[in-house]
Amino acid sequence: MEFKTKKLLHGGDYNPEQWLDCPDILEKDLDMLTEAGCNVVTLGVFSWSTLEPEEGRFCFDWLENIINKLYERGISVILATPSGARPKWLADKYPEVLRVDSERKRALFGFRHNHCYTSPVYREKTAIINRKLAERFGNHPAVILWHISNEYGGECHCPLCQDAFRKWLKERYHTIEELNKRWCTTFWSHTYNSFDQIESPSPIGETQLHALNLDWKRFVSYQTTDFIKAEIHALREGGSKLPTTANLMYYFNGLNYFELAKAIDVVSWDTYPTWHKQEVIETAYDNGMCHDLMRSLKRKPFFQMESCPTSTNWQGISKLKKPGVLFAQSMQAIAHGGEGALYFQIRQSRGASEKFHGAVIDHYGGTDTRVFREVCHTGSALDKISELAGSNVKSAVALLYDWDSQWAMEDSQGPRNKGLHYKEALLKYYRGFRKLGLNVDLVDMTGDLTDYKILAAPMCYMFRNGFEEKVRKFVKNGGIFVATYWSGIVDDTDRCFLGGVPHGLMDVLGIRSMEIDGLYDWEKNSLIPVSDNLLGLDRTYTCKYLCDLVELRGAEAVMTYGDDFYAGYPALTVNAYGDGQAWYVAADAEKEFQVEFLRRIAEKAGISCGVEGEIPEGLEITTRENSEATYYIYQNWGSQTVEIPLPKGEIQTLYGETEKGLEPYGLAVLKV
């Protein structure tokens, strides 16, 4: 099902159930929502105990009343299913819905996001209320989208989940012999005689079979997605045809989002960057990369479901968002292909654990607050650029990000148990491309590579079945492939490849990785350019953490190591293969290396974002396009006003003053 909006969405999570005894406050909220230019709210995320106060007694009138009032004001509703937090009566009567942790201890009632995904009772109770919500509101003209539960995550080790895990394994391996072989269970005599003997990983049991750990993670992801499908199925049974979303989380490690995204119609996510902790632009790259990941999950527009209007109350330091940051953060979601920027939350709760969390309307309750004014400003800007709704982000560059590979790599005991710095490595490549104003997609190993000109795959530890063939074809057909140290080491059950690595690509890359050196935190090596190298690189860069020792098998060395017993060994190599080129970066180089290296590669290949002149420091450029135009979106994350480099063609200004330069946290949108 397609999710299409004519306008960019602006609004957020709203919890009127906390204020049902204050009708005057609810009335005032409506006025304030209108004043802030909000066109949507999310309702019902944690409303189960108000919607069904006792088993089988449903109270939906209050919700209908609010939906109607919002509708009268032209405000749409994203309606949640309430499974994110269950009522007490449910937990008391059916304890099987409570999660069991990895030490096999069952939780008491409390908190949220902590139900068993397998429990037939929980699935049934969720299905009943979802069906009823769909019957009552699934065709209400205000309701535009289903918000399935809230921030799925976590795992349960109860007997029901153990059984489901065994069943899942049996479907995957068919025989116990095959499982033993793929999991390498003869190691430490951990061989299984039957599927019934298998237990999920536990600190008081098995943790050393890496393939078990990996399959457990895959199972948790599968089972959670299956739960989502069951929730959606119930909505369909209730007669609703509306599209669905689930609010995902920042690089969340616990679920394979590429798989989960297949179950929903539109991706949304909750973003809580810690601004001002480092240079603002660095946080913007980190947040931008996550936007790009979310967009890439379905290669379709997504939206920002939650963000804090000012400080949160759960981070180590509750930093206020400085003036302009709320606006800039919201606009970044749009720049990267988002269909809207929503907040958590509209009205600040009065008690319990989030009473000091930032909100559009705080305990004071007036419109004369700094935050409220910024929300209004953001709302009016979103309105002005609303023609961006439905336009797409097209990228020539893909960055590989694969959950299975990351799970396996982070679990394996290897060259650097003290920290592999994987996400930092990814970010260095991302930053290098973004400094050129290039859009970037993130793809996993199942992704289609045909539209890309460059594929960068830092630390691609696992080669899932057939990946090397896909890369070979990509390079053969003219693609530029950038691989790094610690790649192509294991297969998809984390068994090491025999006969040399990077597996299956030694001829494409023209090298073999022989050994890898883990460096102490304080240690450094360096990458020195080879004279007259084909990229014209002329600076020495430091590297840390991991240094791969490679032998040349046809590739050319472009840089070499400066220190240690491997001084002079190749550190950056290139090999021509088919119509393309395969690069190998042997070490974790400082971030200025990627900037220079990727700039030169892109220039040589004639890949650019289309603006003329230098892109100043701190300026982010993203493009979105539709059948009529390409939109150049500029955001200034620096502290000085900067001039913006213009694209070629006939330019119309959709937002911002381009002649005077772009002020800090400012936005400019040009239509070409």
Catalytic residues: 151, 306
Under rule CB under 6 A, which residues in 346-405 are in contact with ligand GAL?
Answer: 354, 357
Q: Is 48 in the site for ligand GAL (CB under 6 A)?
A: no
Residue 159 or 239 with smaller CB distance to Zn ion: 159
What is Dmax (Cα atoms) for the chain?
Answer: 79
Under rule CB under 6 A, which residues in 271-290 are in contact with ligand GAL?
Answer: 272
Count the site residues for ligand GAL by CB under 6 A. Answer: 10
* Residue with token string 């290949």: 605
Residue 266 or 516 with smaller CB distance to ligand GAL: 266
Q: Is 501 in the site for Zn ion (CB under 5 A)?
A: no
Pair of tokens at residue 187: 């190691």
Closest CB 168 distance from Zn ion, rounded Å:
13
* Residue with token string 């907040």: 343
Q: Is 270 in the site for ligand GAL (CB under 6 A)?
A: yes
Residue 115 or 671 with smaller CB distance to Zn ion: 115
Under rule CB under 6 A, which residues in 330-349 are in contact with ligand GAL?
Answer: 344
Q: Is 66 in the site for Zn ion (CB under 5 A)?
A: no
CB 65 within 8 A of CB 99: no
Contact segment (CB under 5 A) with Zn ion among 110-118, 139-147, 272-280, 530-538 equals 110-118
Closest CA to 250 of 208, 312, 327: 312
Strand partners, 511: 552
Report how far apart, in Å, the C-alpha atoms of 636 and of each of 89, 568, 643 are.
Answer: 51, 41, 10
Exactly one of 36, 116, 246, 535 binds Zn ion (CB under 5 A); which one? 116
Residue 357 or 624 with smaller CB distance to ligand GAL: 357
Q: Residue 438: how many CB atoms within 10 A of its CB?
A: 23
Amino acid at residue number 484: T
Between 620 and 649, how does the x/- string for binding to ligand GAL read (CB under 6 A)?
------------------------------
Pair of tokens at residue 227: 């739960």
Report the run of H or E that residue 129 belongs to, with start and end.
helix 120-137
Residue 150 or 623 with smaller CB distance to ligand GAL: 150
CB 265 within 8 A of CB 3: yes
Q: Which residues contact 278 (CB under 8 A, 6 or more apart)?
A: none
Exactly one of 17, 29, 52, 151 binds ligand GAL (CB under 6 A); which one? 151
Q: Which residues contact 453 (CB under 8 A, 6 or more apart)?
A: 396, 397, 478, 479, 480, 605, 607
Under rule CB under 5 A, which residues in 126-165 are in contact with Zn ion?
Answer: 156, 158, 160-161
Judged by beta carbon distances under 5 to 8 A according to partner kind, the member of ligand GAL, Zn ion, none in contact with residue 339 is none
Q: Is 147 in the site for ligand GAL (CB under 6 A)?
A: no
Judged by beta carbon distances under 5 to 8 A according to partner kind, the member of Zn ion, ligand GAL, none in contact with residue 669 is none
- Say how far residue 241 (Cα) sits from the centre of its chain: 27
Judged by beta carbon distances under 5 to 8 A according to partner kind, the member of Zn ion, ligand GAL, none in contact with residue 344 is ligand GAL
Judged by beta carbon distances under 5 to 8 A according to partner kind, the member of Zn ion, ligand GAL, none in contact with residue 375 is none
DSSP string, 495-558: PBPSS-BSTTTHHHHTEEEEEEEEPPTT--EEEEEPTT-TT-----EEEEEEEEEEEESS-EEE
DSSP tag of 666: -
Residue 270 or 491 with smaller CB distance to ligand GAL: 270
Judged by beta carbon distances under 5 to 8 A according to partner kind, the member of Zn ion, ligand GAL, none in contact with residue 161 is Zn ion
Closest CB 337 distance from ligand GAL, rounded Å:
22
Count the site residues for Zn ion by CB under 5 A. Answer: 6
Judged by beta carbon distances under 5 to 8 A according to partner kind, the member of Zn ion, ligand GAL, none in contact with residue 116 is Zn ion
| Backbone CA torsion sign across 624, 250, 460, 257 | negative
Residue 118 or 405 with smaller CB distance to Zn ion: 118
Q: Are strands 9-13 and 338-343 parallel, antiparallel or unpaired?
A: parallel
Q: Are strands 302-306 and 570-577 parallel, antiparallel or unpaired?
A: unpaired
Closest CB 379 distance from ligand GAL, rounded Å:
21
Closest CB 352 distance from ligand GAL, rounded Å:
11
Judged by beta carbon distances under 5 to 8 A according to partner kind, the member of Zn ion, ligand GAL, none in contact with residue 306 is ligand GAL
Q: Which residues contact 110 (CB under 8 A, 6 or more apart)?
A: none
Closest CA to 11 of 99, 91, 74: 74
Pair of tokens at residue 315: 């981070």
Closest CB 218 distance from ligand GAL, rounded Å:
24
Q: Is 67 in the site for Zn ion (CB under 5 A)?
A: no
Q: Residue 392: is it exposed, middle or buried by C-beta count within 10 angstroms (0-12/13-18/19+)?
A: middle
Q: Is the peptide bond before 309 cis (omega within 30 degrees of 0)?
A: no
Judged by beta carbon distances under 5 to 8 A according to partner kind, the member of Zn ion, ligand GAL, none in contact with residue 156 is Zn ion
Q: How far apart are CA 665 and CA 396, in angstroms?
A: 27
Q: Is 150 in the site for ligand GAL (CB under 6 A)?
A: yes
Between 296 and 325, how does the x/- string for binding to ligand GAL read (CB under 6 A)?
----------x-x---x-------------
Which residues bind to ligand GAL, rule: CB under 6 A?
A: 150-151, 270, 272, 306, 308, 312, 344, 354, 357
Which residues bind to Zn ion, rule: CB under 5 A?
A: 116, 118, 156, 158, 160-161
